[in-house]
Amino acid sequence: MSLTEKIIENVNVLSESKQRQLLDFVEYLRAKTENEEWADFSLSTAMRGMEDEKASYSIDDLKEIY
């Protein structure tokens, strides 16, 4: 039995209200996945071409002097 078949079998025994909750959760997971993929794409697009760019700051600029 495939994973999809197992999921369907388990969903079928749930009450309608539990199925609605499960649907809400599945939709949440899908939205979260799409947002994560978009965020990764956006960051990689924003950083494209900066690999060869010289850094404006060094490690010494990050150290605090007292």
From first to last of its 66 residues, what are the pLDDT tens digits of the chain?
A: 899 999 999 999 999 999 999 999 999 988 888 777 667 667 777 777 777 777 777 877 787 777
| Range of the structural domain that residue 19 is part of | 1-45
Within a domain: 24: yes
Residue 66 placed within a domain? no
Spatial neighbors of 11 by CB under 8 A, at least 6 apart, are 19, 22
pTM, 2 dp: 0.52
- Residue 22 exposed, middle or buried by CB count within 10 Å (0-12, 13-18, 19+): middle
Let me know if residue 61 belongs to a domain: no
Does a structural domain hold residue 60? no
Structure confidence at residue 44 (pLDDT) = 72
In this prediction, residue 25 carries a pLDDT of 93
Residue 29: inside a domain, yes or no? Answer: yes
**Is residue 34, in this structure, part of any structural domain at all?**
yes
pLDDT value, residue 8:
95
Number of domains in the chain: 1
- Structure confidence at residue 23 (pLDDT): 94
